[in-house]
Structure formats: structure tokens, C-alpha cells
Amino acid sequence: MQGMSERQYAAHVGLSRGAVQKAKLAERLVLYPDGSINAAASDARRADTTDPSKTRKPPEPKLKPVPEAAVASVGETLREEGLPAPVAAGGTTFLQAKTANEVLKAQERRIRLQKLKGELIERARALALVFRLAREVRDAWVNWPARSAALMAADLGVEPAVMQKVLETHVRAHLDELAEVRPDFR
């Protein structure tokens, strides 16, 4: 057999075997002497003799556009887990999106479990604890010159009041510098 059978050609062009038989009877196919179909020549002849308005075009799938934020989120999640992220916008495959979804569900379950175990605390509570700790440290530093000035003054042989004033000045300047630091709890 030099060319394709009717079944092979039908699979090649995406038609039914009956449609190939009708095209054969209408002499729109090129045949070899043994009766097999010359695929390349038949494709060209069919293209020339077929009315484009009567051909069935496969329906285009109606897909909803995916928001750019969702694609970025999928990429970020995959990168966090060390998996390959989509190369370009709109290049996210179903498998990547499904993997990202499963990763996010696992992360959510882990966080929920950590909360149940008491390993995680609420953000507001953490902020309150940090604020209280910072205030206690600041108060300790503010009171330190009054407690230590007399001892230091005795070691250096200077007036305790002068020593306390100098220490308070420098401690307050340092605390002012530290107050400019704004922690970011995002």
C-alpha cells in the first residue's frame, strides 16, 4: 500500500470514514494505482474543491479571562514552595493552578493547626505585647541614670548631680533615636 487507507486518512483529516468515502466518490481525493489515498495531494485538492462556508469549524471554547492578580498569586505560591512558576501572564497551566491551590490549602491547614496548638497568636495581641515590652525597656533606661549616677560619680570623683544630668541627656538622646525606628508587622 503506497498511501493511506480510508480509516487512516479519516483520522489524519479529522473526518468520519463515511465523509472520506463520499469525498472519494466525488473524486475530491487523489488515489494511488493500488487504491490507497495520497494524503498530501488529497489535502490540496480537498482545500481547492471544498466550499469554506459549508465546513464545520470546531467551536472555540469559551473561557473566562483569569484576573492578573490570580495568576500572580499562583506564581507567588508556586515560587514559595520551590516549584516552577508560570513564565508569562496567561501561561498558567491547569496543573500549576491546581498545585498552587493544594499548596494554599496545606498552608491554611498548617496555620489553623498552629493556632490550635498555641504556636500562633493574634496580631493585635502580639502588637500589644511588643508595645508593652518596649515601654518597660524605655522606662528602665529612663530610671537608670538616677540609680547609677552616684556610683559613677564616686568612681570618677565628680558631683553626682552633674553626672546624673549628663547621663540623662545622653540616655534621652539615645531613646529618641530608638523611637524613630518603626517596626513593620506585615
- Which residue ranges make up each domain of the chain? 6-54, 68-117, 123-179
Report the pLDDT value the prediction gives residue 46, as an integer from 0 to 100.
85
> What is the model's pLDDT at position 31?
93
Q: Which residues pair with 37 in a beta bridge?
A: 4, 31
Full-model pTM: 0.39
DSSP conformation letters of 47-63 = HHHS-GGGSPPPPPP--
Q: Is residue 37 classed exposed, middle or buried when 0-12, 13-18 and 19+ CB atoms within 10 A define those classes? A: buried
Q: Is 149 within 8 Å of 164 (Cβ atoms)? A: yes
User: What pLDDT shows up at residue 115?
Assistant: 86
**From its phi and psi, is residue 157 left (phi > 0), alpha (psi between -120 and 50) or beta?**
left
Give the pLDDT score at 65. Answer: 66
What is the amino acid identity at position 67? Answer: P
Per-residue tens of pLDDT for the chain, all 186 residues = 789 999 999 999 988 999 999 989 988 899 999 989 999 999 999 888 877 777 766 666 666 666 677 777 777 777 777 777 766 555 667 777 777 788 888 888 988 998 888 888 888 888 899 889 989 999 999 999 998 999 999 999 999 999 999 999 999 999 988 888 777 766
* Predicted local confidence at residue 87, as pLDDT: 60
Per-residue pLDDT, 167: 93
